[in-house]
């Protein structure tokens, strides 16, 4: 008898939820007229400033004015003497609620950072920052979690007191923690999974009910991994633990300049070569980290005494050496690490160093994505140096040399002991997603603290569910003396609680075997994560016999127009 396995792969419409859907959109263009406020303004009164100054008052000692231009009405804070002299609105907060904020801002002159702040009875919440321009409107997106209930004030500040601050289309939308999690579930169903319809038929085309279907994910499409270091080279236990879990890695120090060229002209790629071979043998992809680091303390010791001309020659040799050696063997290069916070090379070789370095690396390895890689962009709303707005500015600077560079956005994600600000994290990724560049979480960890395990799970869930994120790497390379901030195993490679969280999520994200039985019509409907699967079918009419087939579940955009696959398997 023949059994026919008929598989339809269709896009999943999404899950129904009572919660208001989250708006992942953001705009990084400067517009003549601002867009409408998200969520119709949420809890903000008079969000489009169409009803005069109703709901809006002066904050500090500034004066405010209602204005109109090109048919658009807005409020202006002028005559400012202190950074906080501005416009504000009183709001009522509920403890534990997640607040997502958006606003459109303009200044009277120049290109000036403007920060959104919420003043509560307990202190100040820094919600986000934008470089506001003159003559056009820019969108700020951010957020915070309320740690107290009661009256508060939302206002906008700038250290440049010479400019007027113009404000329009303001929104502040609260969500419960449960609603926030429902957004993650909705996004995962839409962005990470597809619905698969399996039908078992006999050779006459009759449905076969009660067929047992076993589906195993061989390799997920979404890259998830951890950093490694040279301890893995001759450690079989470490290799087995790692390779059974992860599909992508980053070398902690073994591809860095101070490791590869410890003395002028003395190249050392022994460890990196061995680690790359380990990764290849287990089908694990590698991110190239890093070609340069702009932090002065992370340079080869011999570099500090070089003249600018000598440094330039050393820099050119470094790029030719490491990129030429591993060309086509890594999925991305961190070209100039942390150059929003530091400027070692710019200070010696000119402000266009980064742009030139990216272009040079692209010429050597033209098929590989080139990443800017920074910390605090999503971790800390108080760090204006690496804010999404500053990040976008750096992207534009690098693209000024070559608009065709295959750039990527690297977000280190080193979370401190402070409670994680998930509304700010999500909103920041929203803003960066508007650049249409690939976004990776590149070095995720959480500082040691009582809530470390909880925060790790929450951060990974938030990152994995965001439609703009294309991969996650944790910064959890194992050493006998302890890890950078967070280990996943003990020295016997038994999971710590953090490792248990990682295993739970790996299983939840598709690794666990899916079991099912066809109904009276021979049908089984499943929602599966994107990836490569093995599907096995058994039926009572053929005991001790099974049919095995391999299939791919891919995002909609990866399919050809033909989305139905018919497979005939003989029994």
Residues designated as active site: 338, 443
CB burial string 472-489: b at 16+ within 10 A, e below: bbbbbbbeeeebebbbbb
Token representation of residue 496: 């710590």
Question: Rounded distance, CA 273 to CA 280, Å?
Answer: 11
Whose CA is closest to 86, among 61, 113, 49?
61
Residue labelled with tokens 């050809």? 560
Question: Rounded distance, CA 344 to CA 349, Å?
Answer: 9
Question: Rounded distance, CA 566 to CA 552, Å?
Answer: 13
Instruction: Give me the helices (H) in 192-256, please.
Output: 236-243
Question: Rounded distance, CA 526 to CA 506, Å?
Answer: 18
Question: Rounded distance, CA 172 to CA 190, Å?
Answer: 25
Query: H-helix or E-strand containing 7?
Result: strand 2-10
Question: Rounded distance, CA 237 to CA 485, Å?
Answer: 22
Question: Rounded distance, CA 254 to CA 250, Å?
Answer: 9
Query: Are 415 and 379 in contact, with CB atoms under 8 Å apart?
Result: yes
Residue labelled with tokens 């809530």? 451
Length of the chain as a residue count: 571
Query: Are 48 and 41 in contact, with CB atoms under 8 Å apart?
Result: yes
* Separation in Å, CA 176 to CA 18, 22, 182: 12, 12, 10
Task: Provide the CB-side half-sphere exposure for 106 (13 A, CA).
Answer: 21
Question: Rounded distance, CA 165 to CA 158, Å?
Answer: 8
Token representation of residue 184: 């993650």
Token representation of residue 457: 């799970």
* Separation in Å, CA 122 to CA 118, 299, 425, 500: 11, 42, 22, 35
Token representation of residue 315: 């820099």
């Amino acid at each position: 008898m023949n059994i026919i396995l008929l598989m339809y792969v269709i896009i999943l419409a999404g899950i129904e939820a009572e919660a208001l859907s989250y708006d992942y959109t953001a705009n990084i263009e400067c517009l003549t007229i601002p867009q409408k406020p998200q969520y119709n303004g949420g809890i903000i009164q008079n969000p489009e400033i169409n009803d005069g100054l109703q709901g809006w008052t002066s904050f500090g000692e500034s004066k405010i004015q209602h204005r109109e231009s090109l048919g658009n009405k807005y409020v202006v804070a002028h005559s400012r003497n202190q950074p906080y002299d501005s416009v504000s609105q009183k709001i009522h907060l509920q403890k534990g609620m997640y607040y997502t904020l958006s606003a459109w801002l303009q200044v009277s002159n120049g290109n000036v950072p403007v920060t959104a702040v919420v003043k509560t009875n307990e202190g100040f919440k820094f919600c986000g920052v934008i470089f506001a321009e003159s003559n056009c409107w820019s969108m700020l997106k951010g957020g915070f979690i309320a740690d107290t209930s009661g009256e508060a004030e939302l206002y906008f500040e700038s250290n440049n007191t010479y400019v007027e601050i113009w404000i329009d289309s303001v929104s502040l939308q609260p969500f419960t923690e449960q609603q926030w999690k429902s957004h993650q579930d909705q996004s995962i169903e839409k962005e990470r999974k597809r619905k698969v319809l399996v039908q078992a038929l006999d050779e006459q085309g009759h449905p076969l009910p009660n067929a047992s279907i076993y589906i195993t994910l061989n390799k997920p499409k979404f890259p998830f991994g951890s950093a490694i270091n040279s301890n893995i080279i001759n450690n079989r236990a470490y290799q087995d633990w790692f390779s059974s879990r992860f599909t992508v890695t980053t070398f902690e120090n073994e591809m860095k300049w101070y490791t590869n060229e410890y003395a002028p002209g003395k190249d050392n790629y022994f460890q990196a070569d061995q680690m790359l071979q380990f990764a290849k043998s287990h089908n694990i992809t590698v991110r190239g980290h890093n070609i340069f680091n702009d932090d002065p303390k992370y340079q080869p010791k011999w570099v500090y005494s070089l003249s600018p001309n000598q440094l330039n020659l050393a820099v050119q040799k470094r790029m030719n050496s490491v990129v030429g050696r591993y060309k086509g063997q890594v999925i991305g290069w961190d070209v100039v690490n942390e150059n929003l916070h530091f400027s070692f090379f710019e200070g010696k070789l000119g402000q266009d160093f980064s742009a030139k370095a990216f272009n040079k690396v692209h010429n050597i390895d033209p098929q590989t994505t080139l990443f800017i890689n920074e910390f605090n962009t999503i971790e800390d709303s108080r760090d204006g140096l690496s804010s999404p707005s500053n990040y976008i500015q750096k992207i534009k600077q690098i693209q000024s040399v070559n608009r065709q560079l295959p750039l990527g956005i690297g977000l280190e994600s080193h979370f401190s002991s402070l409670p994680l600000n998930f509304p700010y994290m999500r909103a920041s990724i929203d803003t960066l997603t508007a650049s249409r560049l690939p976004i990776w979480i590149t070095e995720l960890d959480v500082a040691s603290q009582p809530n470390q395990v909880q925060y790790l799970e929450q951060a990974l869930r938030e990152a994995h569910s965001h439609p703009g994120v294309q991969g996650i790497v944790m910064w959890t390379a194992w050493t006998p003396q302890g890890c950078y901030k967070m280990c996943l195993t003990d020295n016997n490679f038994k999971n710590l609680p953090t490792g248990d969280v990682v295993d739970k999520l790996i299983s939840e994200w598709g690794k666990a075997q899916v079991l099912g039985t066809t109904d009276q019509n021979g049908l089984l409907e499943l929602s599966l994560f994107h990836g490569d699967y093995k599907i096995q079918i058994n039926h009572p009419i053929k005991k001790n016999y099974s049919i095995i087939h391999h299939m791919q579940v891919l995002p909609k955009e990866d399919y050809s127009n033909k989305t139905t696959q018919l497979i005939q398997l003989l029994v």
